[in-house]
Amino acid sequence: MAIADPAAVEDPSGVQGGDTTALPEDTIDLSACSNRLGPPPHAVKTLIDFLSEHPKRLVHPPFESENPDLFCAHKRYLAAFADYLRRRFSSPADIRVEDMVAGRGVTEHLYVLARLLHHEPVAVITPEYTGTLIQFGYADFLGPEPGVMDTAERRLHRIRRAATSGHYRYVITSNPNNPCGHFVEPEALLEVCERAPQVTLIIDEEYGAYQGDRDVSLVGAGCENLVVLQSSGKPYGITGGSRAGVLWTRHEPLRAAVAAQIPTWPLSLPEIVLACAALEGDAWLLAQMARARADAQILQAMLAERFGPLAIAPGAAIHYRLLIHEDPLDLHAHLLGHGINTRPFTSGPGRVGGIRISTPYSSAEFDQLYAALREWEGKP
């Protein structure tokens, strides 16, 4: 096994999860949030068949078409995503393609929203996804009290406080949260929308699929002061092959403003084919989500044994865990020296010091992580 040189990366906390370009090929990458159990075999086969049978369709831009057999245009992706949500989360009448905007994952929609809302009073509930913190650097970051371990209940309290304070027009949060994994029940978030109709709640639901077959998405809710972001990349493990996602809202002016910022052809044909095929794999998704959650419980027990249960962000029901640690870079370097890449976070605005670890997916990976943790001699 080739061992990575931790000194090769000057600032590991500035490296995005999943970036292993400076690491040996056999490094176990537990730094990213994309589903490492993907991609779905049926989706890969569909893409291969399409490229083999219809290569000429790659010549021209993916024009819109009424014929679904053409596998073209982002509207096909929106229709597939709407069908996926109807099957999993809501009644057919609640979800309309007309309320959706296609884009390159959740990230592009966050970038567009950050530009559109630059002169608006915005609050971001932190800790939060690094991309959100960067793009909304002008916003107020509302985190837990210093020294207080965050929870889903405390996060909800900050959401309510921001929405009813009279100071903000937009409140942004991820649910489940990245990097802590906290999940706020959707009924509580809808209650916030109802109590504060003058405030628009923007929710990144990128990891909602990890809650299993529960009805956890707010797509289709009746309130207009709600924006929901989702994608097919992370849950299906196709982030590198299909940067596809949706923004849903009944807030027509905001939806139109976002759509005006998206290119004419937001997605390529191969992206659309791969994502649409993946979205048809309900049984595959539920099985892999269940496995990921079960493996994450093993990961949590392993971390608790070495660092104590209070060192792990509580209440996570997702495929990663955040280990709160005062020396995240040292611990990251130690694990990297044992062939395991993680995502370190240094303390700062909107961030909590620690490392985010995605669950291993084989007994060999678990064994390698366990051995590396046992050899850690730094501060607990």
Based on the domain organization, do 221 and 79 belong to the same domain? Answer: yes
Based on the domain organization, do 186 and 328 belong to the same domain? Answer: no
- Say what the pTM is: 0.93
Q: How many domains does the chain have?
A: 2
Residue-wise pLDDT tens digits, 148-166: 889 999 999 999 999 999 9
Residue 37 lies in a domain: no
Based on the domain organization, do 177 and 303 belong to the same domain? Answer: no
Based on the domain organization, do 193 and 318 belong to the same domain? Answer: no
Give the mean model confidence (pLDDT) for residues 56-76: 72
pLDDT score at 176: 94
Residue 69 has pLDDT above 90, yes or no: no
Among 233, 265, 280, give the residue marking a domain's end.
280
pLDDT score at 317: 81
Residue 114 has pLDDT above 60, yes or no: yes
Considering only 20-24, 124-128, 176-180, 364-368, which range has the smallest mean pLDDT? Answer: 20-24
Q: Which amino acid is at 364?
A: A
Residue 259 has pLDDT above 70, yes or no: yes
Residue 84: CA atoms inside 13 Å, Cβ hemisphere, count?
28
Give the DSSP letter of residue 308. -
Q: How many CB atoms lie under 10 A from the CB of residue 70?
A: 15
Residue 285 has pLDDT above 60, yes or no: yes
User: pLDDT grade, residue 90 (50/70/90)?
Assistant: low
Residue 199 has pLDDT above 80, yes or no: yes
Structure-token pair, residue 312: 């792990």
Based on the domain organization, do 290 and 176 belong to the same domain? Answer: no
Residue 71 has pLDDT above 50, yes or no: no
**First-to-last CA distance in the chain?**
27
Among 280, 296, 331, give the residue marking a domain's end.
280
Among 280, 313, 336, give the residue marking a domain's end.
280
Residue 194, domain CATH:
3.40.640.10
Residue-wise pLDDT tens digits, 306-364: 999 989 988 888 999 999 998 999 999 999 999 999 999 998 888 889 999 999 999 99
Residue 169 has pLDDT above 80, yes or no: yes
Which regions of 242-291 does DSSP assign to beta strands (E)?
245-249
Based on the domain organization, do 22 and 65 belong to the same domain? Answer: no
Based on the domain organization, do 192 and 307 belong to the same domain? Answer: no
Give the mean model confidence (pLDDT) for residues 37-46: 96
Instruction: Domain of residue 319: give its range.
Output: 6-30+283-374
Based on the domain organization, do 292 and 329 belong to the same domain? Answer: yes
Residue 1 lies in a domain: no
C-alpha 143/C-alpha 282 separation (Å) is 36
Angle at 330 between CA 128 and CA 370, to 5 degrees: 90
Residue 310, domain CATH:
3.90.1150.10
Residue 131 lies in a domain: yes
Based on the domain organization, do 59 and 102 belong to the same domain? Answer: yes
pLDDT score at 91: 56
Based on the domain organization, do 265 and 359 belong to the same domain? Answer: no
Give the mean model confidence (pLDDT) for residues 130-137: 94
Cross-strand bridge partners of residue 49? none
